[in-house]
Chain A
Amino acid sequence: MSAVRADYIRPLDIKHGRVDLSHGSGGRAMAQLVEQLFAAAFDNPWLAQRNDQALLPQPEGRIVIATDSHVVSPLFFPGGDIGCLSVHGTVNDVAMSGARPLWLAAAFILEEGFPLADLKRIVDSMAAAAREAGVPIVTGDTKVVEAGKGDGVFITTTGVGVVPPGIEISGDRARPGDSIIVSGTVGDHGMAVMSQRESLAFGTDLRSDTAALHGLVAAMIDAVPEVRALRDPTRGGLATTLNEIAAQSGVGMLIEEDAVPVQRQVAAACEFLGLDPLYVANEGKLVAIVPPEWAERLLQAMHAHPLGHQAARIGVVTADRHHFVQMHTRFGGKRIVDWLAGDQLPRIC
């Protein structure tokens, strides 16, 4: 749909070209980049209009908006890249309210010198993820910063969705007695990314679990509209998400270590580096809090969906004025699963 205009000075050299400052200056070079790279990949009527904004129809229902910035390093990792991650991440944030995601906006900060071939790879990946999710990227922005002032590329995505009537899902709705359910194995994404980091690299089949979860969410609330809270445990892992919800809702939690699904390779990789899988990032999993009488039905609905087939009930919400998340260890003792101080760091001691 995008043809090179006769008065362009030179065609975009995807193979060998690099981002330079002119690509962010608002002039012809930037227009060429937008048309030949971004719009060509994302390919929808809104972008084809070439406005700085997208005019959208009035959606039916309560509107949800969410935004996320993506600064992951390395940009490409087993199972994904910053591109699809930026689509999945925001689609998921919108979906965690029970909303159906409708549209995405994407802003790029490119570093001078960034290879166009890599940019195309990322943009194509975003386009595929958006297509697969059924959520178009309808508007965007591009800026270029000087070499050394950016990590190749930063992407910020904003998503808009609508919540069906009768659905009230929020992190402050957990109540003592509620069941805590996780949709699958934890720690996959973080360990897959870590396996690529210089000096920590290890050989593995591990792939990021990055995925758009709105289909799973739709199936879940269709079966059990009484779901109280949903959240996707990204940075900081499952432990951080549970602590967030506990604090928001003013409750405590008690989980069973044995019940938390962890892939063998993830457990082994964590052993190597002295990390705890409960704190390792996920990009395709969610936590659900549901009244206990609906837990079984919710699990059935999740098991029937490809992204929820390993869903498991891992614990119960408790009354606790300290808002501690506690855990019965596999060993038979009890410990807190605390907030992290900072990023978990690999250790030797």
Chain B
Amino acid sequence: MCLAIPVRVVELLGEAAAVVDLDGIRKEISVALLDGVSVGDYVIMHVGYALARLDPDEAERTLALFAAAIAEQST
């Protein structure tokens, strides 16, 4: 029910804020709900707040899971 998108942190600002980027669109958002956010991290953003980090390894694993489901089906 919640529109949230994965965005990349490109700059850390003071006061628990950061600039994030999605394909050239930049927005200043709050990272106050997370600890230890670094430049280069991907976060899930909702109403101007980062809610969670996106784990790139898990993302790869999930995509691999899709492929595995398909492979299983064809055996």
Q: CB within 8 Å of B: which residues of A?
A: 202-205, 264-265, 267-269, 271-272, 274, 347-349
Contact = CB atoms under 8 A, between A and B. Distances in A.
27 contacts: A202-B25, A202-B26, A202-B27, A203-B19, A203-B25, A203-B26, A203-B27, A204-B24, A204-B25, A204-B26, A205-B24, A264-B23, A264-B24, A265-B24, A267-B23, A268-B22, A268-B23, A269-B25, A271-B5, A272-B5, A272-B22, A272-B27, A347-B3, A348-B2, A348-B3, A348-B47, A349-B3
Nearest to A347: B3
Contacts of B26: 202-204
B53 interface: no
B59 interface: no
Nearest to B28: A203
B25 A272 contact: yes
Nearest to A205: B24
Contacts of B5: 271-272
B45 to A, nearest CB: 8
Contacts of B27: 202-203, 272
Interface string B20-60: 00111111000000000000000000110000000000000
A121 to B, nearest CB: 27
Interface of B: 1-3, 5, 19, 22-27, 46-47
A205 B5 CA distance: 20
A268 B25 contact: yes
Residue with the highest number of chain A CB atoms closer than 10 Å, among B1, B19, B26, B27: B27
Interface pairs A-B: 10 shortest CB-CB: A203-B26, A268-B23, A268-B22, A265-B24, A268-B25, A274-B3, A202-B27, A264-B23, A349-B1, A269-B25
Nearest to A349: B1
Contacts of A268: 22-25
B4 to A, nearest CB: 9
A204 B23 CA distance: 10
Given A274-B3, A348-B47, 4 more contacts: A204-B26, A264-B24, A268-B24, A271-B5
A210 to B, nearest CB: 20
Contacts of B1: 349
Contacts of A272: 5, 22, 25, 27
A268 B27 CA distance: 11
A296 B11 CA distance: 47
Residue with the highest number of chain A CB atoms closer than 10 Å, among B3, B23, B25: B25
A269 B46 CA distance: 14
Contacts of B19: 203
A205 B25 CA distance: 8
Contact of B22 (A205, A271, A274, A349): A271
A349 B2 contact: yes
A265 B22 CA distance: 8
A202 B27 CA distance: 5
Contacts of A271: 5, 22
Nearest to A273: B3
A5 B1 CA distance: 66
Nearest to B23: A268
A88 B66 CA distance: 49
A69 B26 CA distance: 33
A205 B23 CA distance: 11
Contacts of B24: 204-205, 264-265, 268
A202 B2 CA distance: 20
A268 B23 CA distance: 6
B27 to A, nearest CB: 5
A273 B5 CA distance: 10
A349 B4 CA distance: 8
B11 to A, nearest CB: 11
Contacts of A264: 23-24
B23 to A, nearest CB: 4
